[in-house]
Amino acid sequence: MHRIARNRLAAALVVCLALTGSAVSTRAQDSEATTAAKLRDAALKDGWGYRFLEGLTTEIGQRLAGTPAEARAAVWAEKALKAAGFDTVERESFPMTAWLRGEETASVVAPAPQALVVTALGGSVATPKQGVTAEIALFRRYSDLLAAAPQSLAGKIAVVTQRMPRVMDGGAYGAANPIRRKGPSEAAKRGAVAYLLRSLGTDNHRLAHAGATNYEADAPRIPAAALSNPDADQLERLAARGKVTVHLVLTPHSEENARSWTVSAQLNGSARPDEIVLIGAHLDSWDLGTGAIDDGAGDAIVAAAGRLIAQLKTRPKRSLRVVLFGAEEMDYSGPAYAKAHAAEVPHIVLAAESDFGARKIYAWQKPIGSAKTGFVATLADTLTPLEIFLAPQPALRSGDDIAPLRKLGVPVIAMRQNGLDYFDIHHTADDTFDKIDRAELDQNIAAWAAMAYLAAQSDLDFRKLAADAER
């Protein structure tokens, strides 16, 4: 499949680059289009981003927020960005409470003794050291749990086995998220002593998907973990036969006063350096894999895009800032950045984040209010040879790290990746470098380099366009 994708991409480029060349000269509005096309084409044969990702995932590996591994990654990234030709590189820290995985085992005690594969949800409290053993109450739909009466789960382990559908744009993840984020508190309100959910994942491997949960203030905090998909199937089959008793041991702990790190690198604008185009990704990862698709790929994409622009003879008019956020998986990064950089936020004219893996971009979304601008026309033409189309809807959101900036009035632009297999790997031990297809990663870098350059070179007031459109 990778080989076919690579060949198709190559064939399309041979045809389309020729077409673009003539299209650009026909339009011939400006040299920006030519420069953007050159950046795009250079990215496709550059390879720096792929090597960056190989280095990060090999020399650091997992980068759990607030741990020494994440701190090592920040030092590693700072060094790599300094070598990449940015004007300034900064590494700054912020406080957080770290959450550290402990032992995590589960098993069916009766009627058919067997091991289950689970992983604790981020933020979960621990079970007693000897674990909890209880009958399960299994719900095939989350709504059935929500419909359960108060105390109907007293003394039981609640299990939700609703399956998340496989969709290209990842939209099913948002819809399923409450099962993980809110399920533990909803189960606890009904008397449950622990909570298990079918992993929010589309694979069928014996690897559970991690991810953070959020306890509500008015419910007891109960231990919570995700089952691998085959284990959720197994509990469904056993529960269909009668009563099932499960034993669960989780021993995570939290560390107050931990610190996470943000690494940012900037190219100072040649005409209006105080205006900032921000492209970001997150540097932290879950601890089970090595954070290749989530989100080492995003780090590689934005860093490589910035590096290519740094190699131009002249800086774009605006400043371009590459930000590698810390502690995204623990929900700290976006708010921490918006707070620490509050004074700068009014100067961020456009922002975007890459945090959905390393598969090809198939569509992009323009900033709100920019529909009839030369910026959109030129970027659309530049991206067409990469097999990327302009989606009809403008970008309403980008990654989670950007969301707080968006709320503060920063418009966003979005590159939409093929996420069909993203949730096969996301938050599992399988998130490793071998899953990366270099041609697809390079296509991302090509698109981001062109987009970031054109945005930084543009004279458009994206903030005003967005504000006018949203009025």
Residue with tokens 């609703």: 162
Is 434 among the residues that bind its own copies (CB under 8 A)?
A: yes
Nearest to its own copies of 247, 341 (CB atom): 247
Residue 465 CA neighbour count, 13 Å, CB half: 21
Nearest to its own copies of 291, 394 (CB atom): 291
Is 233 among the residues that bind its own copies (CB under 8 A)?
A: yes
Is 423 among the residues that bind its own copies (CB under 8 A)?
A: no
* Tokens encoding 146: 């929500």
Count of residues binding its own copies (CB under 8 A)? 35
Starting at the earlier edge strand, list the strands of the sheet with 272-282: 88-100, 253-267, 318-325, 272-282, 348-353
What SS3 class is residue 352?
strand
Q: Are 300 and 50 in contact (CB under 8 A)?
A: yes
Quick one: which of 237, 285, 288 has its CA closest to 108? 237
Quick one: which of 424, 464, 456, 66 has its CA closest to 228? 424
Nearest to its own copies of 217, 240 (CB atom): 240
Q: How many CB atoms lie within 10 A of CB 119?
A: 26
Residue 55's alpha-carbon distances to 286, 300, 383, 428, in angstroms, are 17, 10, 28, 20
Task: Please choose, out of 20-28, 127-135, 179-187, 231-239, the segment that lies near its own copies by the rule CB under 8 A.
Answer: 231-239
Q: Minimal distance in Å, beta carbon 426 to its own copies? A: 14
Is 406 among the residues that bind its own copies (CB under 8 A)?
A: no
Task: Please choose, out of 10-18, 308-316, 369-377, 424-432, the segment that lies near its own copies by the rule CB under 8 A.
Answer: 424-432
Q: How many residues does the chain have?
A: 471
Nearest to its own copies of 207, 278 (CB atom): 207
Nearest to its own copies of 167, 371 (CB atom): 167
Q: Which of 127, 161, 202, 229 binds its own copies (CB under 8 A)?
A: 229
Backbone angles phi, psi at 151, to 5 degrees: 65, 5
- Contacts to its own copies from residues 129-188, by CB under 8 A: none
**Rounded CA gap, 432 and 449, in Å?**
25
Binding track, positions 190-219, relative to its own copies; x by CB under 8 A: --------------xxxx------------
Is 114 among the residues that bind its own copies (CB under 8 A)?
A: yes
Nearest to its own copies of 63, 321 (CB atom): 63
Quick one: which of 398, 405, 395, 396 has its CA closest to 366? 395
* Tokens encoding 107: 């098993």
Amino acid identity of 4?
I
- Contacts to its own copies from residues 32-71, by CB under 8 A: 54, 58-62, 69
Is 430 among the residues that bind its own copies (CB under 8 A)?
A: yes
Residue with tokens 């698709």: 293
Q: Provide the binding-site residues for its own copies, judged by CB under 8 A.
A: 54, 58-62, 69, 108, 111-115, 117, 204-207, 229-230, 233-234, 237-238, 241, 288-290, 428-430, 432-435
